[in-house]
A = this chain, B = another copy of it.
């Protein structure tokens, strides 16, 4: 019995430190598609909310999108890691992201006693975007964030809702645009003056040697992170995540984390115990 009291009391300093603080948490779509992981993450999020923190979730898309495109007879095409998006693809995105993944998270949080509110970037003009230009390639309806107006999100967290955000935006012409979820999370964290941005991925963090988990880098300054991108140590899929963290830090977020969301209760352990996990990127000296 005393053991329980001890564990609870050891969490006290962390509960105090993050009391009332905004945590923007991005979940990869694969984590959401796994029912067990989703359930476990939702439970963690509800606990964090109940002990006084203000989590805001942003989710990505999963492998289902590709399947749906195949069903519709469309061949997924990527340019520089970005999914080329035509109108038909956009409809599939809406259905999968807004109509499925977002709602699974809302129901998951609700199941554990939290009050979630699903919102897409097009609702209430949350995310203004513009078409992304990438050299000559036409990526179609792919955009980048122009402006985020987080007033509604601030209201929701002030009344203890947990917002769940789908990273779609709308441009000045009223067109829907597909946005990178990591960047949306970073921009949102900056616009809300969040304490933390946490990217839940399916890898342990930034590795010095690919595939060697023991080479995990647990702490990076922005400067170091940029150098590692330049030197090629950080590669491929990890680059946009690290860049999102850099963007968030430069926008005023105190600390950013890339952690393994497949590890059981990774969020809880990161936030409520002294044993930080994954890679933390912060301003640095």
Contacts and interface: CB of A to CB of B under 8 A. Distances in A.
Interface of A: 1-5, 7-13, 15-16, 19, 43-44, 46-47, 50-52, 71, 91, 94-100, 102-103, 106-107, 110-113, 115-120, 122-125, 152, 155, 161, 170, 174, 176, 264-265, 268-269, 272-273, 275
Contact of A110 (B9, B16, B122): B122
A228 to B, nearest CB: 28
B122 A107 contact: yes
Q: Which interface residue of A1, A16, A123 has the most chain B CB atoms within 10 A?
A: A123
Given A99-B94, A110-B174, A264 B2 contact: yes
A118 B121 CA distance: 11
Number of copies of chain A assembled together: 6
Nearest to A273: B4
A268 B170 CA distance: 27
Contacts of A96: 95, 99
A152 to B, nearest CB: 7
A179 to B, nearest CB: 15
Contact of A5 (B12, B106, B152, B268): B268
B12 A111 contact: no
A205 to B, nearest CB: 16
A192 B232 CA distance: 57
Contact of A269 (B4, B50, B123, B174): B4
A91 to B, nearest CB: 7
Contacts of A43: 9, 12
A113 B269 CA distance: 22
Contacts of A2: 264-265
A124 B120 contact: no
A103 B122 CA distance: 8
A173 B23 CA distance: 29
A207 to B, nearest CB: 21
Contacts of A1: 269, 273, 275
Given A3-B7, A95-B99, A107-B122, 14 more contacts: A5-B265, A9-B268, A12-B46, A12-B47, A12-B50, A12-B113, A91-B100, A95-B100, A98-B99, A99-B100, A103-B120, A106-B122, A107-B170, A124-B161
A206 B149 CA distance: 43
Nearest to A108: B174
Given A5-B264, A100-B91, A118 B116 contact: no
Given A16-B113, A107-B176, A8 B9 contact: no
A162 to B, nearest CB: 9
